Amino acid sequence: MNEKQCKDSIKNEVFMTPEQRARKIIDEKLIMSGWVIQDMKELNLNASVGVTVREFPTDTDPIDYALFVSGNPIDVVEAKKSEAGEHITSIEKQSARYANSSFKWVKSGYKIRFAYEATDKLTRFTDYIVNPLYK
């Protein structure tokens, strides 16, 4: 990152909402973990083995992040601002609803393994295979 990009990045962060800041850090963590991140308008599930799609539509609501491996949905992430961290378990019902939703344009037969609740500082997950009672 050059000096101008660094200054622009800092300038942009000043005007971000708390949730936008959290999503920026979540994006960075996903990228560092090897995920390719896409918005719905650039959807290409074949862009990489691991593709994360922001605001992926379901039959309930769009998911903040839907994670796909080889084109199949495997995980969902519900992103929240940092202040939500102390109440992160209260968000579990929302991410569980997404995990049990039907993903648009995806054939049936898939199972969501993990549902994550994340802020810029905290990530919590439920494994629905190890803990089937949650699903």
pLDDT at 27 over 60: yes
> How far is 101 from 5, CA to CA, in rounded Å?
39
In this predicted model, what pLDDT tens digit does every residue of 61-112 receive, in sequence order? 999 999 999 999 999 998 887 766 566 676 778 888 888 888 988 887 888 8
Whole-number Cα distances in Å, 30 to 54, 93, 99, 104, 120: 12, 23, 19, 23, 12
